[in-house]
Amino acid sequence: MKPVKVGLLGLGTVGTGVVRIVEGHQEDLHRQTGAAIQIEKILVKDRSKARSVSIDADKVTLDPMDILNNPDIDVVVEVMGGITPTKDYILEALSRGKHVVTANKDLMALHGPEIMKKAEEKGCDVFYEASVAGGIPIIRTLAEGFSSDRITKIMGIVNGTTNYILSKMSQEGAAYADVLKEAQELGYAEADPTSDVEGLDAARKMTILGTLGFNVNVALSDVTVKGISQVTKEDILYGKKLGYEVKLLGIAERTGDSISVSVQPTMVKTTHPLASVGGVFNAVYVYGEAVGETMFYGPGAGEMPTATSIVADLVAVVKNMGLGVNGRRGVAPYKEKKLKTDEEINSKNYILLHVEDKAGVLARITQVFSAHDVSLESVLQHPNPTNPKAEIIIITHDASQANMKKVLKDFESLDVIDKIKSVYRVEG
C-alpha cells in the first residue's frame, strides 16, 4: 500500500502531540496499517514561532489551500479549533474526497450532522474520538462496541475543570471561589472559566454523545444546562453526611422513543463508581439493554492523551483505505427526534431549605409534596450556628420534573420558607 499523506490543520499543544506520535511510532503504525503515514503539510499562524518538535520548513504553510487543494494529501487532521473558518475547511476537504479526523467538540456539537451527511455523500471517513473525554475511546465504543445493543442511558463526568473544582471542595472543605482561583493558577481553568463552570463545554460533549448513542440529531439547544457556580461547601458537606458526592454530570436518557439530555450538578451516591472519580479525570457510564452497565475512565484532556485518540482515528482511516471501506462507519443520525416532556423526566431530588425555626413548619412543607404526588425518602434538620434560620435537607423518591416544578413554585409563596437554597438531581 502506498504511503498515506496527512495534512495537519494546526500545530498547537495537541497538534504537536500528533506530530510526536506519528513521527516517533512509524514502525508500529506501519505494522498496524500496512502503510507508511507521512505528515505532508502543516497549517500554522506563525511560521517563525519556536516549536517543541522539529519540523521541516517546507512542510509548514500559512495557506490552508496548500492542504485542501493538494491532490497528494489523503487525510486532513484538524486540531485548530473554533467554528469559523474550520467548518469551511472540513467541508472543503470532504468535497475533495479527503478523509477527516478532528478533535473539535464545538464544531461536531453544532454542525456534526451536516458534516457527517457530506462525508456520507462523498464516501469519506470523519472520525472525532478526541472531541469527547480526551484519551478515553468512548466514541469508538459507542459506534462499534455497542453497535449490537440499544443504549438507554449515558451518564458521565466529561469536564475535567469542574471535576477538579468539586473534588477539591469535597476534600478540603474549601469555597468555590477559592478553588476556582487555584485551578486558574494551575492552568486547569481558563482566565474566563464560563464555558467550563457553567456547563457549556460539557453540554457540547453530551450533544455529541447523545447524537451518537441514540442515532438522533441532538441539538445543543436540546440540552438543559446548569453549571457549578452556585454549588457551596455547605451543599458538599450535607451531601457527604447523607452519603453523596456532588459531581457535574452529563446525562442522556432514552425511554421508548423519547430522549432527554442535560448537564447539571448531581448528588451521586458514594457507592456509585462515578463518585470516586477525582481531579481532572473523566468517566462515562453507559447503560445498554443487553450489556447492562459499563464505565470508561481516563484522562479527559492533555497533549498526549488527546493526540493518542487522534492518531488512533488516523489509524482507523488508513485501515479502511486498505480495505476499501471508507465512509461506511460514520452513519448520520437517522431516527426522528422526540424530546421527553417534563412529565416524562423522572429522578430523585436533593433540596436544601432555609425555614422559620418554629413548630408546624415541616408539616406544611410535607403537605406541599403530598399535594403534588412527590414522596420523600429522607428528611434531615441540621443546626447551623452561622444561620439563624433552620435548615431542612430533603431527598425525594423518583418524581417527575413537572411535579417538582410545581412543588418549588409553591415553596416560593410559602411564608415559612425563607429561601430555597439548593436543588440537585440525585443519582446512584
Tally Cβ neighbours within 10 Å of residue 84.
8
Give the angle subtended at the CA of 233 by the CAs of 229 and 234, to the nearest 5°: 115
Do the beta carbons of residue 134 and residue 13 sit within 8 Å? Answer: no
Which region holds residue 217: left if phi is over 0, alpha if psi is between -120 and 50, else beta? beta
Reading the block at residue 318, the C-alpha cell is 488508513
Which residue among the candidates 205, 226, 348, 421 is catalytic per the annotation? Answer: 205
- Whether 205 sits among the annotated catalytic residues: the reply is yes
- 112 CB-near residues (< 8 Å, 6+ apart): 128, 207, 208, 211
Which region holds residue 298: left if phi is over 0, alpha if psi is between -120 and 50, else beta? left
Exposed, middle or buried: residue 385 (CB in 10 Å: 0-12, 13-18, 19+)?
Answer: exposed
Cα 80 to Cα 91: distance, rounded to the nearest angstrom: 15
For every residue of 209-222, DSSP letters joined together read HHHHHHTB---GGG
Give me the amino acid identity at 411: F
Do the beta carbons of residue 89 and residue 10 sit within 8 Å? Answer: no
Phi, psi (degrees; rounded to nearest 5) at 279: 60, -145
3-state helix, strand, coil in the chain (%, to 5): 40, 25, 35
User: So which residues are the catalytic ones?
Assistant: 205
